[in-house]
Amino acid sequence: MDRVSPGEIRSVRQHGAMDPVDPPCDLDRVRLYRLGRVRQTLAERDVAGIILFDQLNTRYATDATNMQIWCSHNEARYVYVPADGPVILFDYGGKNFLCEGLPTVDETRPARSFFYMLNGPRYADRGHLWAVEMDSIIRESSGGNRRIAIDRMAPLGVQEMERLGYQVLDGFEIMECAREIKSEGEIALMESSIVVCESAVASMYEAMRPGITENALWAELHKGNISGGGEWIETRLLASGPRTNPWFQECSMRMIEKGDMVSFDTDLVGPYGYCCDMSRSWICDAAPSDAQKRLYAEAFKQIEHNKSLLTPGISFAELTSKLRRLPDQYVNGRYGVAMHGVGLCDEYPSIYYPEDLDAHGFEGVVKAGMVLCVEALVGEDGGPDAVKLEDQVLVTSDGIRQLTSYPMETDWL
């Protein structure tokens, strides 16, 4: 098939400058929309406010960032978002220059961290002081409401808030529901991330040759993301040859050989913090075998059929019932979900295959404004290869709008 260069993909797909100083939409409008979604969800559940330690939830609510990976495993910064009242960011070091000008942050204070690395055996005392401070802040705008939500933190913090008389609710349920409907501005920012991702994927294709290691090929994706203004990549899901099946073998120092299947899943957090989650499978420096073509054809049919089902109002259960049925030889190797939401990262909802519906499925309906990743993983038990394909689409009032556009290997079909 004819290939598209990184520069050509950029020129075709670009809807605005990639430099974050020249965004494709009004960033403050996006920020206020997202904060409004959080407040609306809190009000609907009669929750006084939410304490966010998860860095992606903090990003969604405020767009304030600070060492996000480090702070994801050290509880060094958090934000309090009341249903009505000032948003307070408790940042690592207490600096405010990282959130200057953000309309979503009313006040910045030093974080009162109590994780063990910083506090050692004094962590319990510090945890109590943290809860006392939060109590005084919540009282100012709660109107006596003692229902609060927390997304993630050490058990001590929850215990201390409960000792002070609070009913602590699951913050992730609130945030996942708030994040499910994307604004037009969010889609524009997501498309900026997709442009960077697809340009980097094109660089990967150009670099793929016998003798290159999986890690070296994967590094092309990182390079393209960072140089394009992106942020990080959440996984290491690239495998070649016999390491493609079973799936989820992370990339390694294995040298890719001529004729190898190369499958990958980007999980890329690009410019403005939005995720481009797409998967492709290639053959290194050779034509595919008939067996490889059969795998690819089935994965392609899965993707295309399942995308066609997405219309607003269809229930998750009905969607599952209408999914293309995997041939028996591929069922055991199926992916964990047929579809999942995506925004700043993988998000609610998850749509399961019929074999997994009873154990893992839940009620819900597809809505206009959701962005979904449609997945396919096809490989036989004990077989030499697995094909991984995935597209990212926006659900609209009359169907879907394709967001990812990197070419499939249609000449293999």
Q: Which domains does the chain have, with CATH numbers?
A: 45-179 (3.40.350.10), 184-412 (3.90.230.10)
- Residue 281 and residue 114: Cα distance in Å, rounded? 45
Q: What is the DSSP string of 26-71?
A: -HHHHHHHHHHHHHHHHHHTT--EEEE-SHHHHHHHH---SSHHHH
Q: Are the C-beta atoms of residues 182 and 348 closer than 8 Å to each other?
A: no
pLDDT at residue 256, as a whole number: 98
- Residue 345 and residue 230: Cα distance in Å, rounded? 13
* pLDDT at residue 185 is higher than 80: yes
Averaged pLDDT for residues 117-139: 92
The angle, 0 to 180 degrees and rounded to 10, between the axes of the packed helices 155-163 and 123-142 is 50
Least confident of 11-25, 123-137, 369-383: 11-25
Instruction: Count the alpha carbons within 13 Å of 83 in the hemisphere toward its beta carbon.
Output: 20
Phi, psi angle pair for 103, to nearest 5°: -75, -5
- Residue that has been written with the tokens 């009341």 in this structure: 82
* pLDDT at residue 95 is higher than 80: no
* pLDDT at residue 98 is higher than 50: yes
* pLDDT at residue 20 is higher than 70: no
* pLDDT at residue 70 is higher than 60: yes
pLDDT at residue 5, as a whole number: 54
318, 321, 334, 412: which is closest to 375 by C-alpha?
A: 334
pLDDT at residue 48, as a whole number: 98
pLDDT at residue 114, as a whole number: 85
Structure tokens belonging to residue 128: 């109590």
* pLDDT at residue 343 is higher than 90: yes
pLDDT in tens, 222-258: 999 999 999 999 999 999 999 999 999 999 999 999 9
Averaged pLDDT for residues 92-111: 88
Cβ atoms within 10 A of the Cβ of 258, count? 11
- Residue that has been written with the tokens 């001529």 in this structure: 258
- Residue 77 and residue 403: Cα distance in Å, rounded? 33
Q: Starting from the edge strand earliest in sequence, which strands make up the sheet with 78-82, in order?
A: 107-110, 88-91, 78-82, 49-52, 147-150, 167-170
pLDDT at residue 115, as a whole number: 86
Structure tokens belonging to residue 319: 């969607």
pLDDT at residue 21, as a whole number: 64
pLDDT in tens, 28-47: 999 999 999 999 999 999 99
- Residue that has been written with the tokens 């705008």 in this structure: 141
pLDDT in tens, 281-322: 999 999 999 999 999 999 999 999 999 999 999 999 999 999
Cα 182 to chain centroid, rounded: 13
Report angle CA 184, 189, 194 to the nearest 5 degrees: 120
In the chain, % of residues over pLDDT 70 = 95
Q: What is the pTM of this model?
A: 0.93
Structure tokens belonging to residue 112: 């009162």
- Residue 393 and residue 388: Cα distance in Å, rounded? 17
Model confidence at 16, pLDDT cuts 50, 70, 90, reads very low
* pLDDT at residue 277 is higher than 50: yes
Structure tokens belonging to residue 120: 């050692």
29, 120, 42, 26: which is closest to 80 by C-alpha?
A: 42
The whole-chain average pLDDT of the chain stands at 93
pLDDT at residue 96, as a whole number: 79
Averaged pLDDT for residues 197-211: 98
φ/ψ region of 283 (left if φ > 0, alpha if ψ in -120 to 50, else beta) reads beta
